Amino acid sequence: MSNTLGKLFTVTGFGESHGPCVGVIVDGCPAGLPLSAADIQKDVDLRRAGFSPASTPRHEKDKVEILSGVFNGRTTGAPICLLIENEDVDDADYEKIKDLLRPGHADFTAHVKYGGFNDARGGGMFSGRITAGFVMVGAIAKKILSTIGVETLAHTVSIGGIAAKSVSYEQVRQRAIKDSLFCADAAASAKMLAAIDAVKKQGDSLGGIIEGVALDVPVGLGEPLFDTLDGDLAKALLAIPAVKGVEFGAGFAAARKKGSENNDAFALKNGKIVTTTNNAGGILGGISNGMPLVVRVAIKPTSSIALEQSTVDIKKMKQTTIKVTGRHDACIVPRAVPVVSAMMAVVLCDFALRAGLISRVLK
Amino acid sequence: MSNTLGKLFTVTGFGESHGPCVGVIVDGCPAGLPLSAADIQKDVDLRRAGFSPASTPRHEKDKVEILSGVFNGRTTGAPICLLIENEDVDDADYEKIKDLLRPGHADFTAHVKYGGFNDARGGGMFSGRITAGFVMVGAIAKKILSTIGVETLAHTVSIGGIAAKSVSYEQVRQRAIKDSLFCADAAASAKMLAAIDAVKKQGDSLGGIIEGVALDVPVGLGEPLFDTLDGDLAKALLAIPAVKGVEFGAGFAAARKKGSENNDAFALKNGKIVTTTNNAGGILGGISNGMPLVVRVAIKPTSSIALEQSTVDIKKMKQTTIKVTGRHDACIVPRAVPVVSAMMAVVLCDFALRAGLISRVLK
Amino acid sequence: MSNTLGKLFTVTGFGESHGPCVGVIVDGCPAGLPLSAADIQKDVDLRRAGFSPASTPRHEKDKVEILSGVFNGRTTGAPICLLIENEDVDDADYEKIKDLLRPGHADFTAHVKYGGFNDARGGGMFSGRITAGFVMVGAIAKKILSTIGVETLAHTVSIGGIAAKSVSYEQVRQRAIKDSLFCADAAASAKMLAAIDAVKKQGDSLGGIIEGVALDVPVGLGEPLFDTLDGDLAKALLAIPAVKGVEFGAGFAAARKKGSENNDAFALKNGKIVTTTNNAGGILGGISNGMPLVVRVAIKPTSSIALEQSTVDIKKMKQTTIKVTGRHDACIVPRAVPVVSAMMAVVLCDFALRAGLISRVLK
Amino acid sequence: MSNTLGKLFTVTGFGESHGPCVGVIVDGCPAGLPLSAADIQKDVDLRRAGFSPASTPRHEKDKVEILSGVFNGRTTGAPICLLIENEDVDDADYEKIKDLLRPGHADFTAHVKYGGFNDARGGGMFSGRITAGFVMVGAIAKKILSTIGVETLAHTVSIGGIAAKSVSYEQVRQRAIKDSLFCADAAASAKMLAAIDAVKKQGDSLGGIIEGVALDVPVGLGEPLFDTLDGDLAKALLAIPAVKGVEFGAGFAAARKKGSENNDAFALKNGKIVTTTNNAGGILGGISNGMPLVVRVAIKPTSSIALEQSTVDIKKMKQTTIKVTGRHDACIVPRAVPVVSAMMAVVLCDFALRAGLISRVLK
């Protein structure tokens, strides 16, 4: 186990899907930041089941509690413990399949690593539910970043192979938040919804691609050789269950280009140095270059499907089949969107503190 | 700056392209491992310029020196300092363009971050030359991993859009090492070489994709929530200059699949639990599942190209153009191949130590 | 802020004296360890106010809750969140003196560091109450260490200059736990109690010295150069409020000895290498040598005293006087004793994991 | 092994007593700091053998080399590798006693921990020689601290029980540096020298106490709960071989005082909040309070003595005796003095960076 992320702004997660709660400790938050449970609740609600038609019917209130680190409506500089109690836990579905390894899940690897002592109900700490904690800390990170004018956004750019058309970041900001799939292209979103609906009826699932964008990032965030901005972002994003790939700017497409096509020319704009294109995705040499930071993550299709799959009964060590019933999202892409922007904010906040750009006391 | 990677098996890099040397400190290496400079030299030679027709004519001996941590031919348990002196340094090309920001390079971001005090000659610490240090520590990591039967391989799977056909890992092991582009498909390699030759003549460059594979990885490596095996691999691989994306198993392709297509069914094989496909790339829930660990990295085309590009003179703050002359690889993909397998070995070694699978004393 | 201690077995603390709770996240605990709230409660009760006549009348139940990481009575390998709610909080005393800097307390330094946003009630996160969390994680560490036969003890060796006579560790084990001051010398304990009683009547306070001992520590714990066993123990012990000094074995007395007096001669005993004396306190070169690990910490007299003291009103920036009323221990030494053995256990557990001596799964 | 200290300003040590060199990597040094080998050499020379009559006759030039991170006379922001080659190595004395465990040394613990593969010649990495690296990085830290007006001093306050009389820090600054024992009290120094001379003739050795002082430390350095200023200083100082105890301000004497005697009253002085005494040693709640930071370390008598001692031959597993011949300091206290101020500077530099008080670019 290693449940702490970050160097100056650190996140320690805890909790399991079917345990008493999920939560997070945020350490290194500057003192003086106005903060209420409501500030955080807003972001958590975006991730909550039921927001989108694609999501599971597990309806939880997901009520954010602040257990420490806030006094008189402001952060104190002490570690902030944030908690969401699990209210709507149903072990029945789990009991039926508890010895069957669900394909695509961590059941097998967790069983071996923890000698069968892991809490496997609902995936335990490997459940997507743990990301509610990521969103909580992300809400704080976003508030901190706003003090230096940095904003993080995320939106769905494809689901099941259906791609949204490219729009400006201003349009992303305005439209994605209103769309049930967090997609800024309404026409594509409608097609994605239809596709999700279709696979749902088949007992199947879909994946997709989420794009995260950070705007007005100052030049100079990132600490090469090893704590590069892209490296630490990739690590943080891969902590989101179901992410199988991360690319920056042109990403894998860059591998097919010539240098003359892929290099971003430098130019002057209002006395500032910019690049005329952004194939680098805002990062050069592991350091932010002031252009929009652009990252895309590949989300695999939901592993829990109702269709029959081959598997192994780990107790009997016998081959068998499994149908994963219970409440599952046919596509978790929309629910992961707020998590992507949250994790970006967390990493950027850490680097901004490391670069000395954020005061330890915010007034 | 943050130049240390790993938790129990750590790498601290140092050195610049045109300084006295590049080097690395390896900490946490178990005592008793037989180790000579020759063991490391072997891997370093694979990365060296001149091995491949695609590479720069800068011919260095790249002679590995061990400065500490080895006594009587075995590691002592003390930190191992490894050094390669820079012999063939030519500042002339650099002097001509020192105020011009080379597109695609870290010149601009480093200049801002370090207030212009960075050693920009040849890219300084952002030069690909720093990866000679990665290869040195990778050589040690590979020796350590061999004590538990783990092997890491890497090979070129595409250059400039030309894809190698898929072959078995056994074929990769045997063929890639003999190919000047580290490509296991000889026919594709020939086409790639021709493509590189063509862009070289145009003063342009190409990128590509490298696949890394780790075989016989024990089940259970990786430390979720945050120190996942994929997360830490991605971070380590993104420390290699020019990497713009990382994906595991089916990766971005998984985003277009259905759950029923992407899930790897579990099965029993010789009394062991395996998966019948490997879309997960050997990682479930951030933990190795015993299947081959498969990761692909996107390498952007070499940023240094002879073609004229628009840029800015940072001293005069004026727009201008640049032609990056000097000795440069038209395609750095083959030189990055040994670096990919080295970084995989480094990360796996750290996790194997964290999992308690490697003795602190090897006899 | 930096609220995480340890490398493989990590503790993250949170909570304030007058907030909703104090708590701790334990990460890296092996899976399969039998663990209940009652196991932890036992140790927490030893630290609780009211146990000793020297202690404050603040009577809290200090009821331990496990929020994560335990399932079916055993640890799961996931992070363990432990919580104690604050029940008996009284802000009245605090309100009267909230702008007056209490001598000996962190009021001033916290005020400056956190820009006045810190929760200063009862000292906030600088309160001794935070050590309830240390004791909780210590209880887990002790259970883990018991699987390899290591035991940590602590006892009061002096209070207000009254020294306990030296006794065997076996006597310490048996007697200290039954003494209200955790002193193994009953006669000295009686004198200490009388001395505490006397200063209490004067509105004054006393300090003292606690000795921690770890028995049956395997040879080889500690990771020089920097993560030495003594270095990490000292750091952990200095996190206990009121500790002003730490010494190992002969400690400061060694500075007055000759080498021939201070060196511990090596000898063979039952085929094992031992030392005939233990001036080294069980540590040579930062590594445990198998002899009893002996550390002493100096505890300053309780800073909160009823006597009038000169101070500054930080709001008015005026000199004034303060009498710190409210419920305070006239001597916190006995309450710190369980904290000392807890912190020793935490550090030893981390090093035993790092040395590969504790399995990741305990069966 | 764990050879890295610090969070933002990190030190990674390497090298052995009888290997090719000792060295250190400094990471996190701001860019733009004027730095030459001569700046560092000055401090290294203070630690060098032969400076003091108490020291060993091993005469090394200890010539500092900068291998990276400095360009055009200024730091670049890249990691700085500093090296001192070992020139005057004599294995003859070692060969005679290589299987005999030297009492007081790490021979036994290192042998067990590293399975006998450690380089035991001259103590290997456990040799005091490794502290030459500490002094090198300390020289850099001092230069950085001088940009915010912080100064670290150290002086000998007792040797063999002979105590120097207390003098002002201004007198310490002026006198200690000129004294062969770094003692600010000339009369005491003369007695100490005589005492050292006497034990030297007996083939014996002496220890002592060094006081470190940091002046003009800003209020607010230190990161509780765990990364307290005192905790991290203690850890860093215990990395110096032979240190067996660390105390701050009144230290162990505080344990014998009443609260009314030990508390430092607050007062206003020139509009600033100060304390009228300094029993806290400049640290309250783990955070600097702006008063002089005062720490004392106990140095045990040199373990290498010419007198016959009982020991064990680890190869034959037989009891025997040993006389440790070769060149050894009869008292290493004076040579450790520059190391104490160096380590204080290193820790303070790290905390000043963490507090955001030092710019990442120094102009």
Q: What is the pLDDT of residues D110-127, one digit of tens each?
A: 999 999 999 999 999 999
Mean pLDDT over residues B295-300, rounded?
98
User: Percent of chain D having pLDDT more than 70?
Assistant: 95
For residue B299, which residues of chain A lie inside 8 Å, CB to CB?
Answer: 254-255
Q: Report CB contact under 8 Å: A266, B227.
A: no
- Cα–Cα dist D215/D197, whole Å: 34
Mean of per-residue pLDDT scores for chain C:
94
pLDDT digits (tens, 9 = 90+) for D262-286: 999 999 999 999 999 999 999 999 9
Q: A363 lies in a domain?
A: no
Residue C89 confidence (pLDDT): 66
Q: Report CB contact under 8 Å: C360, B360.
A: no
Mean pLDDT over residues D225-253, rounded?
98
Mean of per-residue pLDDT scores for chain A:
94
**Residue C60: which pLDDT band, with cuts at 50, 70 and 90?**
low
Mutate to test the interface with B, among D76, D109, D354 (most CBs of B within 10 A): D76
Query: Can you give chain C as a three-state secondary structure string?
Result: CECEECCCCEEEEEECCCCCEEEEEEECCCECCECCHHHHHHHHHHHCCCCCCCCCCCCCCCCEEECCCEECCEECCCCEEEEEECCCCCCHHHHHCCCECCCCCCHHHHHHHCCCCCCCHHHHHHCHHHHHHHHHHHHHHHHHHHCCCCEEEEEEEEECCEECCCCCHHHHHHHHHHCCCCCCCHHHHHHHHHHHHHHHHHCCCECEEEEEEEECCCCCCCECECECHHHHHHHHHHCCCCEEEEEECCHHHHHHCEHHHHCCCEEEECCEEEECCCCCCCEECCEECCCCEEEEEEECCCCCCCCCEEEEECCCCEEEEECCCCCCCCCCHHHHHHHHHHHHHHHHHHHHHHCCCCCCECC
For residue B162, which residues of chain A lie inside 8 Å, CB to CB?
Answer: none
Q: Which of C1, C208, C220 sits opposite D255 (nearest CB)?
A: C208
Q: Which residue of A has its CA nearest to B343?
A: A226
Q: Report CB contact under 8 Å: B115, D15.
A: no
Q: Which residue of C has its CA nearest to D248?
A: C244
Per DSSP, which regions of chain B are E strands? 4-5, 10-15, 21-27, 64-66, 70-71, 74-75, 80-85, 151-159, 162-163, 208-215, 243-248, 266-269, 272-275, 283-284, 287-288, 293-299, 309-313, 318-322
**Residue C328: which pLDDT band, with cuts at 50, 70 and 90?**
confident
Q: B360 lies in a domain?
A: no
Q: Which of C7, C358, C360 sits opposite B355 (nearest CB)?
A: C360
**Higher per-residue pLDDT: D58 or D253:** D253
Query: Starting from the edge strand earliest in sequence, which strands make up the sheet with C208-215, in order?
Result: C162-163, C151-159, C208-215, C293-299, C243-248, D243-248, D293-299, D208-215, D151-159, D162-163
Residues in D whose CB is inside 8 Å of some CB of A read 7-8, 79, 225, 353-356, 358-360
User: Percent of chain A having pLDDT more than 70?
Assistant: 96
For residue D311, which residues of chain C lie inside 8 Å, CB to CB?
Answer: 265-266
pLDDT digits (tens, 9 = 90+) for A78-136: 999 999 999 866 677 777 888 999 999 999 999 999 999 999 999 999 999 999 999 99
Q: Is the CB of residue C240 less than 8 Å from the CB of residue C133? A: no
Does residue D49 surpass a pLDDT of 70? no
Residue C48 confidence (pLDDT): 76
Q: What are phi and psi of C127, to 5 degrees?
A: -65, 150
pLDDT digits (tens, 9 = 90+) for C265-320: 999 999 999 999 999 999 999 999 999 999 999 999 999 999 999 999 999 999 99
**Residue D108: which pLDDT band, with cuts at 50, 70 and 90?**
very high
Q: Which residues contact D19 (CB under 8 A, 6 or more apart)?
A: B67, B68, B71, D86, D119, D124
Q: Which of B67, B68, B117 sits opposite D75 (nearest CB)?
A: B117
Q: D38 lies in a domain?
A: yes
- Cα–Cα dist A190/B312, whole Å: 44
Q: Smallest CA–CA separation between C78 and chain B, in Å?
A: 9
Q: Which chains touch B (3 or more CB pairs under 8 A)?
A: A, C, D
Q: Report CB contact under 8 Å: C356, B354.
A: no
Q: D186 lies in a domain?
A: yes
Q: Which residues contact C330 (CB under 8 A, 6 or more apart)?
A: C54, C196, C197, C199, C200, C204, C205, C206, C302
CA triplet C193, C199, C204: central angle to 5 degrees? 135
Q: Smallest CA–CA separation between A72 and chain C, in Å?
A: 9
Q: Report CB contact under 8 Å: C109, D284.
A: yes
Q: Which amino acid is at A293?
A: L
Q: What are phi and psi of C42, to 5 degrees?
A: -50, -50
Integer angstrom CA distances of residue C338 from B191, C131, C173, C177, C212: 72, 10, 13, 10, 10
Q: Report CB contact under 8 Å: D263, C104.
A: yes
Residue B290 confidence (pLDDT): 98
State the pTM of this model.
0.97
Q: A359 lies in a domain?
A: no
CATH number for the domain spanning A290: value is: 3.60.150.10
Of C3-7, C33-37, C206-210, the one with minimum mean pLDDT is C3-7
Does residue B168 surpass a pLDDT of 80? yes
**Residue A258: which pLDDT band, with cuts at 50, 70 and 90?**
very high
Mean pLDDT over residues B322-335, rounded?
90
Q: Which of C66, B289, C32 is nearest to A114 (CA)?
A: C32
Q: Is the CB of residue D311 less than 8 Å from the CB of residue D106? A: no
Residue A325 confidence (pLDDT): 82
Q: Which residue of A has its CA nearest to C74?
A: A117
Integer angstrom CA distances of residue A258 from A63, B155, B198, B302, B303: 51, 21, 11, 8, 9
Domain region containing D284: 4-354
Q: What are phi and psi of A285, to 5 degrees?
A: 65, 25
| Virtual torsion, Cα C307, C313, C319, C323, nearest 10 deg | -10
Residues in A whose CB is inside 8 Å of some CB of D read 7-8, 79, 225, 353-356, 358-360
Location of structure tokens 């039926």: A96
Reading the block at residue B2, the tokens are 């943050």
Reading the block at residue D325, the tokens are 């011949």
Q: Which residues contact B150 (CB under 8 A, 6 or more apart)?
A: B214, B215, B216, B217, B218, B348, B352
Q: Smallest CA–CA separation between C12 and chain B, in Å?
A: 15
- Split into its structural domains, chain C has a count of 1
Q: A211 lies in a domain?
A: yes
pLDDT digits (tens, 9 = 90+) for D139-151: 999 999 999 999 9
pLDDT digits (tens, 9 = 90+) for D220-231: 999 999 999 999
Does residue C72 surpass a pLDDT of 70? yes
Location of structure tokens 């055009």: D72
| Distance between first and last Cα of chain A | 37
ipTM for the predicted complex? 0.97
Q: Which residue of A has its CA nearest to D353?
A: A356
| Virtual torsion, Cα A332, A335, A336, A341, nearest 10 deg | 160
Q: Which amino acid is at D36?
A: S
Q: Which of C347, C143, C83 is nearest to C239 (CA)?
A: C347
DSSP character at residue B68: S
Q: Is the CB of residue B96 less than 8 Å from the CB of residue A202? A: no
**Higher per-residue pLDDT: B96 or C310:** C310
Q: Dihedral sign for Cα C318, C323, C326, C327, please.
A: positive
For residue B77, which residues of chain D lie inside 8 Å, CB to CB?
Answer: 1, 110, 113-114, 117-118
Q: Smallest CA–CA separation between C75 and chain A, in Å?
A: 7
Residue C362 confidence (pLDDT): 95
Does residue A59 surpass a pLDDT of 60? no
Q: Which of A110, A228, A257 sits opposite B207 (nearest CB)?
A: A257
Q: Which residues pair with A162 in a beta bridge?
A: A159
Q: Report CB contact under 8 Å: D28, B118.
A: no
- Interface B–C counts its CB contacts (< 8 A) at 19
Q: Report CB contact under 8 Å: B363, D115.
A: yes
For residue B227, which residues of chain A lie inside 8 Å, CB to CB?
Answer: 2
Q: C361 lies in a domain?
A: no
Residue B326 confidence (pLDDT): 76
Does residue C97 surpass a pLDDT of 90? no
Mean pLDDT over residues B7-32, rounded?
96
- Cα–Cα dist B219/B282, whole Å: 9
Per the omega criterion (within 30 degrees of 0), is the bond before B225 cis? yes
Q: Which residues pair with D132 in a beta bridge?
A: none
Residue B57 confidence (pLDDT): 56
Q: Report CB contact under 8 Å: B255, A7.
A: no
**Residue A57: which pLDDT band, with cuts at 50, 70 and 90?**
low
Mean pLDDT over residues B27-43, rounded?
97
Of A36-50, C36-50, C51-65, D74-88, the one with minimum mean pLDDT is C51-65
Q: Which residue of B has its CA nearest to D114?
A: B31
Mean pLDDT over residues D41-63, rounded?
74
Q: B239 lies in a domain?
A: yes
Residue D73 confidence (pLDDT): 97
